[in-house]
Amino acid sequence: MIVGLAFPETALIGLLFAAIQFGAMIYLASLGELIAERAGVLNLGVEGMMAMGAVGGFVFAIETGSPWLGLLAASIVGALVAMIHGLFAVVLGANQVVSGLALTIFGVGLANFWGTDYEGLRPDVQFVDVDLGPLSDIAWIGRIFFQQSPLAYLALALGCVAWFGLNRTRGGLALRAAGESAATADTAGHSVVGLRLFAVAIGGALAALGGAYLSLSISPGWTVGVVAGRGWIAVALVIFGAWKVRRVALGAFLFGLAMALPSRTESFDLPWHPILWSMLPYLLTIAVMIAGALILRNRPADAPAALGVPFRREER
Amino acid sequence: MGGKMKNTTVRCMLTRLFVPLLALTLLAVACANDSSTEPVTTTTNQPTTTAADSTDNGTDMDADEMGSDANSSADANDGEDFSAAFIYISPIGEAGWTWAHDQGRLHAQRVTGVRTEFVENIDDGSPADTEAAIRTLVADGHDVIIGTSFGYMDTMEEMAQEFPDVVFEHVSGFKSNDTNFGNTFGKIYQPRYLTGMIAGATTQTNKIGYVAAFPIPEVARGINAFTLGALRVNPDVEVHVNWTSTWFDPALEGDAADALLEAGADVIAMHQDTTAAGLAAEAAGARWVSYNSDMSEFAPDAYLASAIWNWGPRYAEIISSAADGTYTPVPYWGDYSDGIVDIGSIADDVDADIVDQVNEVRQQMIDGTFNVFEGPLFGQDDTQLLADGEVMDFGTLLGEAFFVKGVIGDIG
């Protein structure tokens, strides 16, 4: 169909490059949600926190002239916004679903408001893809793995840190205990509220980094709607990855692939209209939910046992 | 012990009630940001009275929260202060579809002296949001309401029936009534053809990438006209279409452009409301044809040319005719001779000979002597659509759901 247009190789390299790029962006947000959920707090505000990170990162990058300062500011903004959820859902013990949804709506609205003067501004400050010299020049691998945005490597590094922190440190154990059995963690002398607030803040910071990835690297600049529902995919991804850091990374790559494929259906000469393919990430999300529900009927859940349950010492 | 437990339960119940209420408040705040109260602007060229009026309106809106006084306040405003309001799908920003409409609004305000306001970020996929925005604007006393996105059409039709004293003009749709609901669009495919000529003359690989939005006639017309223009100067050219199913998702649109560039395209054209495709072309060292407004400053090296809208004169016409009571709804489809469409600046490095050719065809379009869709015209599959000299009829043009020869891609 694409007569003489593409060497499928270039398209394949492009697909894998874009899959890693989109995957790393989603992974940052998913990692944050994973940490919050492992501590027992479901935070459906990811979309809002990503929007705040996207606008905050861009605004501070423009104002300071440094994408790295923008990134730092985004993570702080994300953690602060997440504290709204922390206040309601963790400290006051409100319904986590309601509070999280409110955070999404509030975060997106506030981001749009904050970004009014930055809307469609020319992105003079942005992350430049790395150039690792000979590594980047290797055929295939160079382009796919060694010419990514610095944020892709940051996502990988943070994934490693999160895995180590959750699974190999005392603090990680306490945090997971807060998510599995808050009362036990409390008895062991840990502050469940403190642990959960910490996890929610980290979650917000990571979600905001995902948003800043969009506004400072993938599609530099701020426009309303830049997050475009990707926060929800990040939430689904945590379930897909069974609350495990490494499996979520794999899932993020798969979802990245699903996001990058519709643009390249012509190059691969795939059947069906590309618009059908663009449903792929969402179909995948639904499929994951259904599969998850079916699997959970027969065996103990992967989900942290105390996920979504507010902790109140008096009510033990 | 029992009393203490009871106390705890009561406190918990209170907390549980209190928190969702707070959450709802947050929600309300967020919604308010999205719709009408925030981004209202007022004219600058009407002195003191305007500022006072706008303050009044602001307070009115707060006081009339329940909407009970809506009609009376609208009537009160009617006599003394004629005004028009615009509904935008996205923020104005610094370029693009909504920016072009806002330039039109400002022009109309300058020319007619009528006060104008706008609301932005009204989701055209949500009839409820659209209706709420319109009701607020009507309650606010506006006499003309102009909606600038396709999805507002059905809601505007209903509202036009409910508020017969207000003139409703819808942009880019096809519905109208006999009294107070009209629609406006323009033959943007004419400048598309001209940008196609420039792109066709520029490409080295003979492969042009087109980042397309949705497979609807408006988009298909643009792709076809662009391709015909490119083929006019370069018979070997292919226009490869990549659909994004978005109007406004920079991440996807940039990636779609990347995919086309990877596949060998060296010029990118697009239809969406962001500059993402241009930024992708700039990063890849390729060239770019922009749409809606002249976006040369966003990708100065990549920018070639643009097909642009000039809504001002039409908006002035609607508003002034509504003000003096002579407004009659027509399905308005303006063209080059009306000046509603044009080509933006052309990059300096474009061959002077091509620029001359473009200007020549442009003049023919202004004179009405050149038809883009005129035979011989062949479809993608080589079937002849129009015989030699035959001009495409209006219905076919309006419902264009096919690609011409030279377009590579599937319209679905």
pLDDT tens readout for residues B157-178: 999 999 999 999 999 888 899 9
Domain with A28 in it: what CATH number? 1.10.3470
B26: chain A residues, CB-CB within 8 Å? 84, 102-103, 105-106
Mean model confidence pLDDT for chain A: 89
Share of chain B above pLDDT 70, in %: 80
Range among A295-299, B75-79, B302-306 with highest mean pLDDT value: B302-306
Share of chain A above pLDDT 70, in %: 95
pLDDT at A296: 63
pLDDT at B24: 53
Q: Give me the mean pLDDT over the A93-118 stretch.
A: 92
pTM as predicted = 0.80
Q: Give me the mean pLDDT over the A246-265 stretch.
A: 90
Taking each helix axis from N to C terminus, what angle separates B97-112 and B312-323, rounded to the nearest 10 degrees? 50
Q: Is residue A2 part of a domain?
A: no
pLDDT tens readout for residues B251-303: 999 999 999 999 899 999 999 888 899 999 999 999 999 999 888 888 999 99
Read off the pLDDT band of A315 (50, 70, 90): low
A14: chain B residues, CB-CB within 8 Å? 258-259, 262
Q: Is residue A287 part of a domain?
A: yes
**Measured between CB atoms, which of B20, B215, B254 is closest to A98?**
B20
Q: Say if CB A46 and CB A32 are below 8 A apart.
A: yes
Q: Is residue A83 part of a domain?
A: yes
Give the span between the Cα atoms of B313 and B43, in whole angstroms. 17
DSSP one-letter code for B121 = -
pLDDT at A88: 94
Residues B250, A116: C-beta atoms closer than 8 Å = no
Search chain B and give the residue with CA nearest A271.
B410
Q: Is residue A36 part of a domain?
A: yes
Instruction: Give the range of the structural domain holding residue A180, as residue numbers without chain letter.
Output: 8-315
pLDDT at B412: 67
For residue B71, pLDDT beyond 70: no
Q: Is residue A3 part of a domain?
A: no
- Cα torsion B196, B200, B206, B212 to 10°: value is -10
Residues B258, A18: C-beta atoms closer than 8 Å = yes
Residues B207, A121: C-beta atoms closer than 8 Å = no
Read off the pLDDT band of B77 (50, 70, 90): very low
ipTM of predicted complex: 0.82
The phi, psi pair for B207, rounded to 5°, reads -125, 115
Mean model confidence pLDDT for chain B: 83
pLDDT at A278: 80
Residues B27, A105: C-beta atoms closer than 8 Å = yes
pLDDT at B2: 41
Read off the pLDDT band of B391 (50, 70, 90): very high
What is the end-to-end Cα distance of chain B in Å, rounded?
71
Residues A11, B258: C-beta atoms closer than 8 Å = no
pLDDT tens readout for residues B208-224: 999 998 888 889 999 99
Write out the two tokens for A243. 């609350």
Candidate from A144-158, A256-270, B304-318, B366-380 with smallest mean pLDDT: A256-270
Q: Is residue A71 part of a domain?
A: yes
- A88: helix, strand or coil: helix
pLDDT tens readout for residues B234-250: 999 999 999 988 888 88
Candidate from A66-75, B14-23, B154-163, B403-412 with smallest mean pLDDT: B14-23
Number of domains observed in the structure of chain A: 1
Share of chain A above pLDDT 90, in %: 61
Chain A to chain B, count of Cβ pairs less than 8 Å apart? Answer: 184
pLDDT at A136: 83
For residue B68, pLDDT beyond 50: no
Search chain B and give the residue with CA nearest A313.
B8
Q: Which residues of A28-50 are buried (b: 16+ CB within 10 A; e: fewer)?
A: bbbbbbbbbbbbbbbbbbbbbbb
List own/partner pairs for B281-288 with CB under 8 A and 24 or more apart. Answer: B281/B257, B284/B258, B286/B261, B287/B199, B287/B202, B287/B203, B287/B347
B275: chain A residues, CB-CB within 8 Å? 120, 221
Candidate from A286-290, B236-240, B320-324 with smallest mean pLDDT: A286-290
Q: Give me the mean pLDDT over the B182-187 stretch.
A: 93
**Measured between CB atoms, which of A10, A103, A214 is closest to B251?**
A214
Residues A223, B92: C-beta atoms closer than 8 Å = no
Write out the two tokens for A113. 């408001």
For CA atoms A175, A181, A187, A188, give the dihedral sign. negative
Q: How far is B18 from chain A (nearest CA, A)?
A: 9
pLDDT tens readout for residues B27-61: 544 444 443 333 333 333 333 333 333 333 333 33
Q: Is residue A152 part of a domain?
A: yes
Domains and CATH numbers, chain B: 39-186 (3.40.50.2300), 189-308+373-408 (3.40.50.2300)
